[in-house]
Amino acid sequence: MMPVDLYCFHHAGGSSLFFREWAKHLPAHWQLHGIDLPGRGTKAGMQSLRDWDEALSHLSSSTQLQPRSERLCVFFGHSLGGMVAYKLADHLAKHALTTPDLLCLSGCRAPSIPSATQYSKLTDSDLLTTLYHLDMLPKHRLTKDVEAVVAAMFKDDFMLAEQPVSTDITLTMLRSN
């Protein structure tokens, strides 16, 4: 069987560590690549990005896809990661670079639908209250210093997630309840 590279893009506030356990459940010919946005996971020391052009430029230069004749390529993104995978696939196509053979998105809006949230515009206090309410943060309260870092990280991620998305990729939508 042809080897498969599975590139996984994380949700808002997350990192590639979210996908680390997946490798145990993949067939032997699949290789998992967890992709971190700057400021997350393996790229925690880098400045977070709030602009799609900067994020896509960074990701396209740091995500080296193998030629199709050697390996199949699958992008999977969840939530913000779905929008990142979608935008990156479109960016690669527009720049005549290797694109994924399959693009799988979960937990994100269709690109043609404007964002229903504006979390990036909330005060830090209101954002943290919302994140606790949505169970996106631990039940126990974080320290004020950690909350400040977390609020900034989520605001950067939501700034990307809430921007309008336009691409030239045609999608086949499958929905599950």
3-state DSSP call for residue 146?
Answer: helix
Q: What confidence score (pLDDT) does residue 109 get?
A: 81
Could you say which residues of the chain have pLDDT below 50? none
Q: What span, in angstroms and rounded, lies between the C-alpha atoms of 9 and 78?
A: 7
- Please give the backbone phi and psi of residue 32, each rounded to the nearest 5 degrees, phi first: -90, 135
Residue 37 DSSP class: P
Task: Tell me the pLDDT of the chain averaged across its residues.
Answer: 87
Q: What confidence score (pLDDT) does residue 172 get?
A: 60
From the number of C-beta atoms within 10 Å of its C-beta (0-12, 13-18, 19+), residue 115 rates as middle
pLDDT tens per residue, range 116-157? 889 999 999 999 999 999 989 988 889 999 999 999 999 999
Q: Which amino acid is at 91?
A: H
Other Cβ atoms closer than 10 A to 22: 14
Q: Could you tell me the sign of the dihedral formed by the alpha carbons of 113, 116, 121, 127, in that order?
A: negative
